[in-house]
């Protein structure tokens, strides 16, 4: 047993070391990713890398020691009794049958190398052709059991009216949504959730019962509420499911958490307003977009007071004197403070309420001149009613108006593609531009970072294998297993109707380090048979495939089965990590099955070419001179 454990550890030591280090290598770039992807995946990269390195140490030291002392001698089927004998024969017969089928298939592939490579290339091309059919978004939409209803009335609406509207809508919600657990209403004023607002806005948060106690998802409930809440003139209602992950990690413009946002940048408010109306109309025609909203709202009503500087100057007054007088008469001036039992109260000096309640009374406010005369304000001022902007949003020192909307029933990528076609039909004046904000902007940034991480992971994997094999050709052969993983990734994402997002992208990076493990085991054992046991090329390939089929299938199967519960997306929030598991399952399954055939074929093709090159080099080498 001691000798068997030593020989077994020596045979697989290089393979499992290379396999572990390649998997760890793909997580190295993830550690240095910034932004949202870094916040989500850095801890995962550290934990997995540490666990893999510890498992490598255990596999090379503790496992051989325990096997040499406690692993029993393998027994034949006849030595088992009852059900164990039947199970042993069944499992053994199944494995033997798979092995025979695999060896015959491998022999056919070796005899038809060109056709085998063509079939693999065709499958890879088919996966590339089907790839645009997969939806794209930043992250999966989770069911957090909460729906938000935002209501906006005309600017200047009193908070009492806003609250009455919110209470009426709450009664409708209780009637139409039986899944409601409780409702929280905030009417007017600054909201602890939005960080600001006015008396004309309100927000309702509908907390639903747990997912196991309802038959509808939060997205279905929000879509149903959107149709049932009546819209009245002067009222804007926005209904959307609460999905706070993106809102917690990012912020963008004035879209207040909407997944779709288009920023219109320019300098003139009138032109921005016209472009915003056209963008809003275009966005409303895109299927899957709901609750389109423009960040720039109608202004608050205000009265502009213009001072006639010439008349005021002839009376010894300036603009500041007039403004101070009007402010004191209407708004009040704090003259002192009244203290009672530790409480302080401002003492304001201003006109009585009946003398300042009407705008027409502003002109009658008396203004004292330096010479002691008192004149009515209307003799030196003019009043003009207008609307002032509620807020002015700037990004990179440019004025911005944001047109945003909610998404239902479609992925973000297809909606942006359809919207882009409509936006290109809108003529833009010089100095104005459209930019996608919201989730799409963060998705593009995250995908760029993950793309560089995947490229760096691929380079690191090749470097690790090259150092382990002390060859540049063998790692290159093993890398053929990586593109074949796309066949299963694309197929499983389409079958499960799963979008490609940052979790799925991380799954692709993980696949770069995992799918090469099967090729490492095959190539390493093939080289061992040729180097130490003198096997021929064909015989070594067939023997390596036959002897390494079982461990390859076992490791791939355990990985796939371990990810199955995660891929089902069970429970609240389970859908967040499901794309990662589905990508790894699909890629590993197809890559394992195809690379068991393709990697030996490519290995044989390149080895035969290298052998012919060596023979040709020897044939053309000059013969040694006589006497040498």
pTM value is 0.76
Give the C-alpha separation, 620 to 622, whole Å.
6
Beta bridge partners, 306, equal: 382
Pair type for strands 146-152 and 333-340:
unpaired
CA-to-CA dists, residue 531 to 106, 197, 534, 537, 608, angstroms: 22, 76, 6, 11, 16
DSSP 350-401: ---GGGTSSGGGGGG-EEE-TTS-EEEGGGTEEEEEEEE-S---EETTEEEE
The answer to whether 214 touches 143, Cβ cutoff 8 Å, is no
pLDDT of residue 587: 92
Calculate ∠ Cα 547-549-553, nearest 5°: 145
Instruction: Classify domain 143-242 by CATH number.
Output: 3.30.70.1430
Residue with tokens 């040729």: 530
User: What single DSSP character describes residue 71?
Assistant: P
pLDDT digits (tens, 9 = 90+) for 551-580: 888 888 998 999 999 888 877 677 888 899
Instruction: Classify domain 300-388 by CATH number.
Output: 3.30.2090.10
Residues of the chain with pLDDT under 50: 191-196, 248-255
Closest among 60, 49, 70 to 14, alpha carbons compared:
60
DSSP 419-451: HHHHHTTS---TT-EEEEEHHHHHHHHHHHHHH
**Torsional class of 570: left (φ above 0), alpha (ψ -120 to 50), beta (otherwise):** beta
User: What single DSSP character describes residue 500?
Assistant: B
The answer to whether 169 touches 204, Cβ cutoff 8 Å, is yes
Q: Where are the domains of the chain?
A: 14-52+80-138+443-616, 143-242, 300-388
Decide: helix, strand or coil at residue 498: coil
Number of neighbours of residue 118 by Cβ within 10 angstroms: 11
CATH number of 14-52+80-138+443-616, picked from 1.20.1640.10, 3.40.640.10, 1.10.10.10, 1.20.140.10: 1.20.1640.10
- Compute φ and ψ for 418, nearest 5 degrees: -70, -40
Give the C-alpha separation, 620 to 628, whole Å.
18
pLDDT of residue 243: 62
Q: Tell me how far apart the terminal alpha carbons of the chain are, to the nearest angstrom.
A: 53
Give the C-alpha separation, 423 to 349, whole Å.
56
Residues 6 or more apart whose Cβ sits within 8 Å of residue 88: 77, 80
Give the C-alpha separation, 543 to 240, whole Å.
60
pLDDT of residue 106: 92
């Amino acid at each position: 047993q001691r000798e068997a454990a030593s020989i077994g550890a020596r045979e697989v030591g290089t393979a499992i070391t290379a396999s572990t280090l390649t998997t760890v290598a793909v997580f190295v770039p993830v550690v240095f990713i910034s932004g949202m992807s870094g916040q989500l995946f850095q801890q995962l990269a550290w934990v997995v890398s540490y666990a893999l390195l510890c498992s490598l140490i255990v596999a090379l030291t503790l496992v051989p020691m325990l096997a040499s002392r406690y692993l029993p001698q393998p027994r034949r089927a006849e030595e088992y009794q009852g059900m164990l004998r039947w199970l042993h024969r069944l499992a053994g017969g199944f494995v033997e049958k798979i092995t025979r089928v695999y060896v015959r298939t491998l022999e056919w592939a070796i005899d038809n190398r060109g056709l085998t490579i063509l079939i693999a290339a065709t499958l890879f091309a088919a996966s590339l052709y089907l790839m645009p059919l997969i939806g794209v978004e930043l992250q999966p939409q989770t069911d957090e059991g909460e729906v938000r209803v935002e209501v906006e009335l005309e600017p200047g609406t009193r908070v009492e009216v806003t609250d009455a509207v919110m209470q009426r809508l709450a009664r409708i919600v209780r009637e139409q949504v039986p899944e409601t657990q409780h409702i929280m209403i905030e009417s007017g004023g600054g909201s602890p959730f939005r960080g600001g607002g006015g008396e004309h806005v309100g927000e309702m948060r509908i907390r639903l019962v747990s997912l196991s106690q309802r038959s509808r998802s939060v997205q279905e409930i929000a879509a149903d509420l959107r149709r049932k809440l009546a819209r009245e003139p002067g009222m804007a209602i926005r209904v959307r499911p609460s999905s706070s992950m993106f809102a917690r990690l990012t912020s963008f413009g004035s879209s207040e958490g909407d997944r779709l946002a288009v920023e219109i940048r320019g300098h003139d408010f009138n032109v921005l307003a016209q472009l915003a109306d056209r963008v809003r109309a275009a966005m409303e025609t895109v299927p899957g977009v709901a609750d389109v909203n423009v960040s720039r709202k109608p202004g608050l009503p205000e009265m502009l007071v213009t001072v006639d500087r010439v008349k005021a100057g002839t009376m010894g007054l300036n603009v500041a004197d007039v403004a101070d007088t009007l402010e004191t008469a209407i708004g009040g001036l704090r003259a002192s403070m009244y203290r009672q039992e530790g409480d302080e109260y401002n003492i304001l000096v201003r006109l009585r309420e009946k003398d300042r309640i009407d705008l027409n009374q502003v002109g009658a406010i008396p203004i004292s001149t330096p010479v002691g005369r008192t004149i009515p304000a209307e003799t030196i001022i003019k009043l003009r009613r207008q609307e002032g902007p509620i807020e002015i949003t700037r990004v990179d020192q440019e004025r911005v108006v944001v047109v945003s909307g909610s998404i239902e029933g479609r992925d973000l990528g297809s909606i942006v593609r359809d919207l882009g076609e409509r936006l290109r039909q809108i003529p833009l004046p010089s100095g104005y531009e459209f930019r996608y904000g919201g989730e799409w902007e963060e998705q593009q940034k995250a995908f760029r970072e993950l793309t560089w991480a995947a490229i760096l992971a691929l380079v690191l994997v090749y470097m690790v294998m090259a150092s382990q094999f002390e060859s540049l050709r063998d790692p290159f052969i093993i890398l053929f297993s990586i593109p074949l993983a796309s066949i299963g990734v694309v197929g499983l994402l389409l079958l499960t109707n799963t979008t490609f997002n940052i979790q799925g992208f991380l799954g692709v990076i993980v696949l770069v380090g995992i799918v090469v493990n099967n090729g490492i085991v095959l190539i390493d054992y093939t080289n061992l048979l040729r180097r130490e046991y003198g096997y021929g090329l064909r015989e070594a390939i067939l023997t390596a495939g036959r002897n390494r089929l079982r461990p390859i299938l076992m490791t791939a199967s355990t990985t796939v089965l371990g990810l199955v519960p995660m891929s089902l997306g069970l429970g609240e929030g389970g859908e967040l990590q499901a794309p990662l598991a589905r990508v790894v399952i699909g890629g590993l399954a197809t890559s394992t099955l195809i690379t068991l055939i393709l990697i030996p074929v490519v290995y044989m093709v390149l080895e035969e070419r290298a052998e012919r090159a060596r023979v040709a080099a020897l044939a053309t080498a000059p013969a040694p001179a006589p006497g040498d």
